[in-house]
Chain A
Amino acid sequence: MAQLELLDVGHCYVPGEGEDRWALKPLTVTFEAGKTYALVGPSGCGKTTLLNILSGLVSPTRGRVLFDGADMTRRSTRERNIAQVFQFPVIYTSMTVYQNLAFPLECRNWDSRRIDAKVRTVAEALGLGDRLKEPARKLNADDKQLISLGRGLVRDDVAALLMDEPLTVIDPQLKFSLRRRIREISEQFRPTVIYVTHDQYEAMSFVEELLVMKDGQVMQQGTPEELFESPRSAYVGYFIGSPSMNFLDVTQDGSGVWLAGQRLAMSWQPPAARVPAEASGAGAAQAGVLQAGIRPEYVRLASAPGPNTFPARLQAVRDHGPLRVLHVEIGGQRLALKLAREAGVPHGDTLLVELPRAKVLPYVGGQLATVVAG
C-alpha cells in the first residue's frame, strides 16, 4: 500500500478547453496509506476521471501524481501496481474463472505454486471455490463482478485498491454481504482503498473519509461525521443525509437573526451579510443571502413555546424505515424533521418545532459562514 498524492492535478478531455469546463479542475489531495476513502458526487462530476488518473489510464492535462513521494505521473499503468474494479464486470471471456483470477499474477511472473495457493484462497473468500474450472463468460453478472473484484484482491502488494461503483450491478441481497466482505478485506490487509459511489450509505458505512465532488471539484473532504455535522456548503448538506439538510432563509439586523418574525439563535453569530447595493433579485440571493441550516435529525417537536421554538403547520408525513419524516412549514418555508416511529404522529396540523441552537448553522450565499471573532 502506498500514500497517493495528487498535486495540482487537472484534466480536460477536449484539448484547449477553458479551465472552468475541465472534467477535473486542478486539485491537490492526499490519500494516506492504509486508509479507506470514498468519492461521492453526481454522475459526471469527475470521480472516475480522478480514479483513472491515479491508475494511469488517463494522463492528466496538468499536475503531478505521487506514490509514496515518488513521481508516477509519466509511469505506465502496469508500473503503478494498482488494482481497479470497474462499474461493470470486466472478464477475459476466453479464459476460465481460474485463469481470470491467476492472470494478474501470471503477468507478474509469480511461480505457479504460489499462484495456485493465492487463487484458491481468494476464490474461497469470494465463494467461487467450486467454479474455478468454468468458462468465465458462462457466469452471471454478479459472479462476473466477483471475478473482477477477485482479480484486484489476488495481489496483496498493490499500491491501492480503486473501486468505481463496483456494486452497481450486484443483486441487492448480495450487495450487503459483498460490502461486508470488502470491509473485512480492507480491515485485514489495510490497503489504501478509494471507493467511488453515488450511494452515500454505501460510502458512510465503511470509509474513514469522504470526498464530496461536484463539477470536477472537491467540495469537502472529511470524516462521515464531519460531513454530517458541519457541511461546509449547502451542496454538501443537500448531498449527504436523507432527507437532506434543511436550509431556511433568515434575515439579520443589528439585534440578531430573525425567522418568521421570531428571533433565531444560531451556533455562532454569522458575519453581517454584505449584499452589494446594485445586486438585486436572484443575484443578490445567491451572493449573500443568509440561511440557517439544520439536519432533520436535530429538529424536535416542542410542547410549550420557548427559545428557538416556532409554530409550524404539518404538511405531510412520510415513512422512512424505522423513522418518520414530517414535512412542516414555518412562515412559508419547508422544513423536514425525523421522528422515531414510536413517537406517533402529532394530532392536528399546528405544532411547535424547536431548532436546538447548537445544531443551527449559519450559511451565507450557500457557504458555511465563518465564526466572527468576539
Chain B
Amino acid sequence: MSRAYLTFKYAFIAVWASFVAGPFVWALTTSFKDANGVQGGATYLPWVDYKPTTRGWQDIFGGEGGVNVIQPFLNSLQITVLASAISLVLGSLAAYGLSRYTYRIGRMKNADIVFFFVSQRIMPPIVLVIPFFFLLQFAGLLDSIPGLVIVTVALLLPIAVWVMVDFFNNIPREIDEMAMLDGCHPFAAFVRTILPNSLPGITVAAMFCAVFGWNDFFFAFRLTFTEVQTLPQAVVALNSSIPPWWTLSAASLFGISPLVLLAVWVERYLSRGNLAGAVR
C-alpha cells in the first residue's frame, strides 16, 4: 500500500467526516449562543468569538419564555417504542410466513405480496392522512397516543416485513425443517431456532422502525391538536418570526440524541454474523 494511497484515503475520510459531522458541530455551538452570538456573521470559538450561554438549553426545559420538551419527548418515546415493538412482532411473523410458505392471492404470489407491503410506503403520506383522520375520528382516537401508535404501526409494518423477509430468506430452511423433525410445532421452530439467529435482522428492522417512527412529523401534526404533542411538533412549535436559533439547535440535538445512542448501542449486533456455519 503506497504512501500516496494512504494519504489520499485519510484525506478523503477526513473530508467526509467533516461533511457529516459539520452540521452537528454547528448546531452544538449554536445551542450555546445567544442573539448577540448569531447576529453579525459567523462565530466559531467559544469565549473568543462569542460568550457561551446555556440559555437555549434552559428554554427547552421549561425556562422562562421557553417551552418544556420533556412531555413531547415522552410522548414520542411511547409512540415510537410501542409502534416499533408491534411492527417488529407482526412484521417478523408475516415475514416468516412469506419466507417459508407459499401463498397465492389471486394472481399474486409471495414476492408480489411482499412488494404490496412495501408499496404502502410508495404512496405519498398526504394520500393517507385524510382516510386516517376519518378512521381515527370514527374510533374516537384523534388526538391520542393509541391513535398515533396505530397510524405509526401502519407506516412501520411494511419496512419491518421487507427487511425481515429478506433476512429470513437467507436463513437456511434446513434449520426449521430440523426443528420440526426434532419435534417442534412450526411456531415453536420459529421462536426457538429462527428468532435467536435473527438478531442482526431484527436489529436492522428495529433501527429503521425507530428512525421512521421517531422522525414522523406529518401524521402527528395532522392527527393531534392539543392533548398530545410529539417531539418533532414541539421543535417546530419553537419557531417564530425571528427564529431563536439557539433553542432550535438545542431542541434538535436533544431530539436526535436517543437515535444516536441507539445506533451506537445496536452497532455490535449488526456486525456479529451469528449465523455463519449453521449449515455447512
Chain A positions within 8 Å of B, measured between CB atoms, are 55-57, 76-78, 81-84, 86, 88-95, 103-104, 107-108, 137, 141, 144, 148, 151, 169
Contacts and interface: CB of A to CB of B under 8 A. Distances in A.
Contacts of B278: 90-93, 137
A83 B275 CA distance: 23
Given A137-B277, A141-B280, A92 B180 contact: no
B256 interface: no
B181 interface: yes
Residue with the greatest number of chain B CB neighbours at <10 A, chosen from A82, A90, A94, A104: A90
A77 B174 CA distance: 13
B174 A86 contact: yes
Contacts of B179: 92, 103, 107
B172 A81 contact: no
Interface of B: 172, 174-175, 177-185, 188, 192-193, 196-197, 274-280
Residue with the greatest number of chain B CB neighbours at <10 A, chosen from A78, A81, A141, A148: A78
A91 B280 CA distance: 9
23 contacts: A57-B180, A78-B184, A86-B178, A88-B279, A89-B279, A89-B280, A90-B174, A90-B177, A90-B178, A90-B279, A91-B278, A92-B193, A93-B196, A95-B196, A103-B182, A104-B182, A104-B183, A107-B182, A107-B184, A137-B274, A137-B277, A141-B280, A151-B182
B183 A93 contact: no
A56 B183 CA distance: 12
Contacts of A77: 177, 180-181
Nearest to A144: B277
A113 B58 CA distance: 62
Residue with the greatest number of chain A CB neighbours at <10 A, chosen from B183, B197, B279, B280: B183
A56 B192 CA distance: 20
Contacts of A141: 280
B245 to A, nearest CB: 50
B180 A83 contact: no
Nearest to A148: B178
Contacts of B177: 57, 77, 90
Contact of B185 (A78, A81, A83): A78
Nearest to B184: A107
A88 B181 contact: no
Nearest to B173: A57
Nearest to B278: A93
Contact of A82 (B181, B196, B197, B280): B181
A93 B183 CA distance: 18
Contacts of A107: 179, 182-184, 188
Nearest to A58: B177
B279 to A, nearest CB: 5
A370 B44 CA distance: 102
Given A93-B197, A94-B197, A88 B275 contact: no
A108 B159 CA distance: 36
Contacts of A76: 180, 185
Given A81-B183, A90-B177, A93-B196, 14 more contacts: A76-B185, A78-B180, A86-B178, A88-B280, A90-B175, A90-B278, A92-B179, A93-B197, A93-B274, A107-B183, A107-B184, A137-B277, A137-B278, A169-B280
